[in-house]
Amino acid sequence: MLLRRDGDAVLAIGQPAHAWLSGQLARAWGNERFGAVGPWEEVCLAAEQHDVGMADWERQPTLNPKTGLPRSFMELELDEHLRIWRRAAPLVVPQSRYAALLVSLHGTALYERRDLSRLEPADAERVRAFLADQRALRSGLLEGLRADPRTAAAADDDVVRRNQRLIWTWDSLSLGLLLGWAPFELSQVPAADGVVDIAVTDEHALDPWPFAEPRLTVRCEGRRLRGRFDDERAMRDALAEAPWVTVDIELAPA
């Protein structure tokens, strides 16, 4: 869950809603400088579904007693987070093996950025077990994809790495737009020739511009939650009754 300040309240935006916004960015992506997305449907599906493991948690979010609000995605306990990401890629497999491969890679990348030496030994071992399980899952998916003439080219290591980085880019851009990070920079973004950095200004202008159309509006939905809570059930009841709000964000070239 993303918590976005809204006056005296917060907008509680589900991770799947943020992923939907990522998917909108993916479907609009590409021009002469940034090239095309491919395989298009599978990569866009992965962008839209990369947080599918959060769907059940979002229905019954846990309370952060320090804030009196639902836990944001950055406040989850390690066991919660690992459980969510263990489920993510297998949930996507029945839709698309290739999209599931990219979802697994995205979850793995999140943990590869962690300094395991700063964790308790038992926690570090749980993370290593998760990473090993994901490698095994991807090995099986890649074997099948590379044996299929229709998907073999897309399963090439360089293509997969490029698409993994695109998922990371759209995820980061979506988070930055929804959480008010601007100005910020998207680094090492795949382009038609190498990689580039994209600057995002306070006015949601992007330089260089990576989309096909001259302007782009994306949207997602959240709930306007008022108050602070000491009781998890009261928080969940208030969230269920909170009014829905649509967040529209317009992007333009710098």
Q: What's the total number of domains in the chain?
A: 1
Q: Smallest Cα–Cα separation from 104: which of 77, 73, 142, 69?
A: 142
161/142 Cα distance (integer angstroms)? 13
Does residue 102 contact residue 45 with C-beta atoms inside 8 Å? no
100/97 Cα distance (integer angstroms)? 5
Does residue 99 contact residue 138 with C-beta atoms inside 8 Å? no
With b for 16 or more beta-carbon neighbours within 10 A and e for fewer, the 177-189 pattern comes to bbbeeeebebeeb
- The model's confidence at residue 4, banded by pLDDT at 50, 70 and 90, is very high
16/220 Cα distance (integer angstroms)? 10
Q: Domain limits at 57?
A: 2-253
With b for 16 or more beta-carbon neighbours within 10 A and e for fewer, the 13-33 pattern comes to bbbbbbbbbbbbbbbbbbbee
Q: Which two tokens stand for residue 144?
A: 């099948």
- The model's confidence at residue 101, banded by pLDDT at 50, 70 and 90, is very high
pLDDT of residue 237: 98
pLDDT of residue 221: 98
Q: How high does pLDDT run on average in the chain? A: 97
Does residue 211 contact residue 37 with C-beta atoms inside 8 Å? no
CA dihedral 191, 192, 195, 200 (to 10 degrees): -30
pLDDT of residue 50: 98
- The model's confidence at residue 48, banded by pLDDT at 50, 70 and 90, is very high
- The model's confidence at residue 140, banded by pLDDT at 50, 70 and 90, is very high
| Angle, helices 157-179/97-112, rounded to nearest 10 degrees | 70
12/5 Cα distance (integer angstroms)? 9
Question: 55: how many CB neighbours lie within 10 A of its CB?
Answer: 17
Does residue 9 contact residue 226 with C-beta atoms inside 8 Å? yes
Q: Smallest Cα–Cα separation from 70: which of 127, 8, 9?
A: 9
Give the predicted TM-score (pTM) of the model.
0.97
210-251 pLDDT, tens digit per residue, is: 999 999 999 999 999 999 999 999 999 999 999 999 999 999
